[in-house]
Every structure is written in structure tokens, then in C-alpha cells.
């Protein structure tokens, strides 16, 4: 994998559903993996920075895991709420971003 | 405390016009980054400053793009003779000194539309 890739491109879920999406990145020369949440008309907000293989981070209902050997990270949202609706971006190192996953939570 | 601010938030330009986009980073942040986000894509790196020094401008798409940060705080991204393909959201981000893993604080972006 030469680029940072995110899937799915978009996701629509019902309030209360749990969901997850994927970030794939080059596993060679890994440095750090960042997750950001970007709500419409606001600034992207840092969620997690992950550096070690097997890292698991959690913030409220949102958690993330990291596998640096195979080059992927998962972001999980438990019990989605409408306020979780946003674009979720991942970035490898500081400078290479994926295209994002757009999450829409319907009430 | 104040976050990163960008102005204008929206800019409409006619093809061929010059535009200037401003970024006010968080006070004390040494590093400043500019990104371009085209519709449906992720942010793409344009350029990076450490204080007033432009250390990397490898992402600037053409010589019509120019960025400066003369006093190591406010930065301006200038686009000369805008083209339709320049239409995008331009994001600015800053980082404090000593950031080990590159956490960045983003502004809300400037949405540029070139007609």
C-alpha cells in the first residue's frame, strides 16, 4: 500500500448502532497514526495518536486499534449518536491523509 | 484559548485572479502546515514552516502557489492567476514545540471556489 486508504467512503447508521471503519497505511517506516474527526464547518479535531503495534486507545464511546505489522487501524464507535456525524480522517505520520469516512447517524 | 483561525472562510474568485489566504496559528506554535483538500479527497500536504523558515514546499502544485510566514507567526498562502482546479478547501494547522508524534491543531479552512 503506497497511500493511506480509508473504507468505507461513507456510512449511514441508525442512532444506537455500533460501527467501525478502517484505515490502511504503508507498514514500512511506520512512525505514527492519527485519527481526526471533522464536523461540517468546524476544524478537524484530533481524536487519537497511536504509535505502538497493538495500541488501543479509547475516548468515551470511540476507540481505536493499531496493527503496524499489517498496516491498518480500526476506529470503533459504540452506540452511535447523531452528534457523531462527521468525517473521520486518518493520517500516517503527519503529512499523508486518507480521504476520510463520512459517517451519518440518523435519529 | 483561541485556536487556529483562518480567513476568509469562503472566497469566490474569477479565473485569473490572485487570492491570499491567511492563517493565524495558536500562539507559541512553532510549526505551521498548509494543506489542500479537493472535493472527495483527503487533505494533501502543500508546505511546512518551522518559525519563519519554509522547510518543505514539495507539495505546492505549481509556481503559482506561494506561502510565507515572515515573522514566524501569521502565514499567508497566495495563489496567483487562479484556475478552476485550484477550487478546494485550504487547511492550515499548527503544532507546538516538542510535539513528538506530530499532533496538529487545525483551523476551519478556507473554501476557495474559482469560477
CA dihedral (B31, B73, B91, B18) positive or negative: negative
Cα A55 to Cα B60: distance, rounded to the nearest angstrom: 34
Summarize the confidence of residues A27-54 as an average pLDDT: 92
Residue A57 touches partner B, C-beta closer than 8 Å: no
Cβ distance of B101 and A32 shorter than 8 Å: yes
Q: Does A42 touch chain B (CB under 8 A)?
A: yes
Sign of the dihedral defined by the CA atoms of residues A22, A24, A27, A29, in that order: negative
Q: Contact, A78 vs A92, CB < 8 A?
A: no
A27 or B25, which is more confident = B25
pLDDT at position A2 is: 62
Predicted confidence at residue B65, as pLDDT, reads: 98
pLDDT at A95 (0 to 100): 79
> pLDDT digit string (tens) for B46-89?
999 999 999 999 999 999 999 999 999 999 999 999 999 999 99
Q: What pLDDT is recorded for position B51? A: 95
Residue A52: partners with Cβ closer than 8 Å, 6 or more residues away: A66, A68
* Smallest CA–CA distance from A88 into chain B, residue: B42
Percentage of chain A with pLDDT > 90?
Answer: 87
The answer to whether the Cβ–Cβ distance between B43 and A43 falls below 8 Å is: no
Task: Write out pLDDT tens, residues A60-70.
Answer: 999 999 999 99
C-alpha cell at A79: 452506540
The DSSP symbol for B25 reads P
CA of A47 vs chain B CAs: smallest distance (Å): 10
| pLDDT band, residue B102 (cuts 50/70/90) | confident
Cis peptide before B8 (omega within 30 of 0): yes
Q: How far apart are CA A26 and CA A4, in angstroms?
A: 7
Mutation site, A31, A45, A95, interface B, largest B CB count within 10 A: A95
Amino acid at each position: 500500500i503506497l497511500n493511506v486508504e480509508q473504507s468505507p467512503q461513507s456510512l449511514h447508521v441508525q442512532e444506537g448502532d455500533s460501527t467501525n471503519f478502517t484505515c490502511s497505511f504503508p507498514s514500512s517506516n511506520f512512525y505514527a497514526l492519527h485519527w481526526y474527526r471533522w464536523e461540517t464547518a468546524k476544524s478537524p479535531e484530533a481524536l487519537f495518536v497511536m504509535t505502538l503495534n497493538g495500541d488501543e486507545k479509547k475516548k468515551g464511546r470511540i476507540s481505536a486499534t493499531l496493527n503496524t505489522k499489517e498496516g491498518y487501524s480500526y476506529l470503533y464507535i459504540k452506540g452511535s449518536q447523531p452528534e457523531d456525524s462527521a468525517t473521520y480522517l486518518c493520517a500516517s505520520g503527519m503529512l499523508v491523509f486518507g480521504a476520510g469516512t463520512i459517517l451519518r447517524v440518523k435519529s | 484559548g483561541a485556536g487556529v483561525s483562518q480567513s476568509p472562510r469562503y472566497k469566490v474568485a474569477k479565473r485569473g485572479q490572485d487570492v491570499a489566504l491567511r492563517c493565524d496559528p495558536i500562539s507559541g506554535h512553532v510549526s505551521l502546515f498548509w494543506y489542500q483538500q479537493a472535493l472527495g479527497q483527503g487533505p494533501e500536504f502543500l508546505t511546512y514552516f518551522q518559525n519563519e523558515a519554509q522547510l518543505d514546499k514539495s507539495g505546492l502544485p505549481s509556481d503559482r502557489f506561494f506561502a510565507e510566514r515572515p515573522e514566524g507567526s501569521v502565514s499567508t498562502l497566495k495563489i496567483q492567476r487562479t484556475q478552476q482546479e485550484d477550487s478546494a478547501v485550504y487547511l492550515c494547522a499548527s503544532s507546538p514545540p516538542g510535539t513528538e508524534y506530530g499532533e496538529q491543531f487545525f483551523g476551519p479552512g478556507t473554501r476557495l471556489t474559482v469560477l
